[in-house]
Amino acid sequence: MEFVIRNAALPDGRTGIDIAVQHGRIAAVAPRLAVTAAREIDAGGDLVTPPFVDAHFHMDATLSYGLPRVNATGTLLEGIALWGELKPQLTQEALVERAMRYCDWAVARGLLAIRTHVDVCDDRLLAVEALLEVKRRVAPYLDMQLVAFPQDGLLRSPTALANLKRSIAMGVDVVGGIPHFERTMADGAESVRLLCEFAAAQGLMVDMHCDESDDPLSRHIETLAAETHRLGLHGRVAGSHLTSMHSMDNYYVSKLLPLIAESGVAAIANPLINITLQGRHDTYPKRRGMTRVPELMAAGVTVAFGHDCVMDPWYGMGSGDMLEVAHMGLHVAQMTSQQAMRACFAAVTDNPAKILGLEGYGLEPGCHADLVLLDAADPIEAIRLRAARRLVMRRGRIVAESPRAVARLDLPGRPSSADFRQLPPA
């Protein structure tokens, strides 16, 4: 064997597991494997997981914070206006440089698959060309899907539909939309219909910004689910944000949840950004804004958490750490039971991998040897600590390593070192 990780814990609760790797694939997963390898790593009981997956990001805007100025109000609409001011100043070289820098951050944190939206409302399609180039460059160590995103509105922007079709022809993977940003509710519904029909005709997936609003009457997710069902797009469509659901009345939601589940539409919440951008018009009580994650999961809907933004016109923070995203999602959704906390870990691993349709994802023999060894014993501890990534592997090759976090306490009466995860004695 080329590589063996010994004595690992797995997300499903198994412990004392060895993982053997050969030719970029997982060859065996079992306790005490009787194999030798060119290199062996003792996990020491720590957690080995498939890589983190970000189902919703904006890489064309990442690391542009402060250009051309800072978002003073912190609102979604000022962020959109700022991005509109920045677009004419964009260069392909700067877009590529910022995106490549972010991909380096991502890999170091075990984030090896990203679905990123790319604005197609600039007739030059500079951002599309730039991110297609980034996708090509990072392919050996990171899976990237591009979503054709009409940021200024499919019908509101005169050339958006033509540009979206051009971007798909250039190699963009997924059809996007933003119905709540159209001029009217009717236009929003029409944009959903047009985009879903185009995706169905082309055999493409759909990932639509949907109802990113505090308005409980913004109900485009209903149209998206209905069009998905009508066109037979089950399992190929995701609704991102869905924040208006946070403000909807319970009776309407009781009708909506089964419709979403029936259509096979997935939901992507973005905890860091939803808690930051939503509720800006409230005094008190102030809405949290994130969609109804526990209720969607209970209804059988596949739910993922996305990072959405890192240091851009909408959000001045972020680091590409999906454990930070899961940590925020857990708190905002009050998902504090053992089962719910584990579901938050799945929302940044297995669930987004399913939404993206990643081939060979997982920890079973035959899967790609894409692994992350965390400085934590289980998924809950990983979220609690935002655990260090001891090792990140891509196709059987180590692409990032860091030492275990150990406090050095060379003080009288104290041991020379201590594992900071251990609680002090009662």
The angle that helices 322-332 and 338-346 make with each other, rounded to 10 degrees, is 140
Q: For position 403, what pLDDT does the model report? A: 86
Give per-residue pLDDT as tens, 336-358: 999 999 999 999 999 999 999 99
Rounded CA gap, 157 and 165, in Å? 14
30 forms beta bridges with 18
Average pLDDT, the chain: 95
Tokens read off for 389: 């990534």
Tokens read off for 246: 């946070």
C-alpha 386, offset from chain centre: 16
How is the chain split among helix, strand and coil, in percent rounded to 5?
35, 25, 40
Q: Hunting for tokens 């050339």 — which residue is that?
A: 159
Cis, peptide link before residue 285, omega less than 30° from 0: yes
Q: For position 412, what pLDDT does the model report? A: 65
| Contact assessment for residue 160 and residue 191, using Cβ atoms and an 8 Å cutoff | no
Q: For position 426, what pLDDT does the model report? A: 46
Spatial CB neighbours of 298, under 8 Å, sequence gap ≥ 6: none
Q: What's 282's DSSP letter?
A: -
Give per-residue pLDDT as tens, 246-294: 999 999 999 999 999 999 999 999 999 999 999 999 999 999 999 999 9
Given a cut of 50, is residue 425 above it in pLDDT? no
Given a cut of 60, is residue 9 above it in pLDDT? yes
Q: For position 184, what pLDDT does the model report? A: 97
Q: Above pLDDT 70, what percent of the chain?
A: 95
Q: What's 51's DSSP letter?
A: P
Give per-residue pLDDT as tens, 47-96: 999 999 999 999 999 999 999 999 999 998 899 999 999 999 999 999 99
Question: Which contacts qualify for 82-85: CB closer than 8 Å, 24 or more apart?
Answer: 82/313, 83/119, 83/151, 83/312, 83/313, 84/152
Q: For position 398, what pLDDT does the model report? A: 97
What is the model's pTM?
0.95
Q: Is 18 helix (H, G, I), strand (E, B) or coil?
A: strand
Tokens read off for 81: 């206006």
Given a cut of 60, is residue 188 above it in pLDDT? yes
Give per-residue pLDDT as tens, 304-330: 999 999 999 999 999 999 999 999 999
- Hey, what domains does the chain have and what are their CATH numbers? 3-50+362-419 (2.30.40.10), 52-356 (3.20.20.140)
Given a cut of 70, is residue 420 above it in pLDDT? no
The set of catalytic residues is 212
Side-chain-facing half-sphere of 245: CA atoms under 13 Å: 27
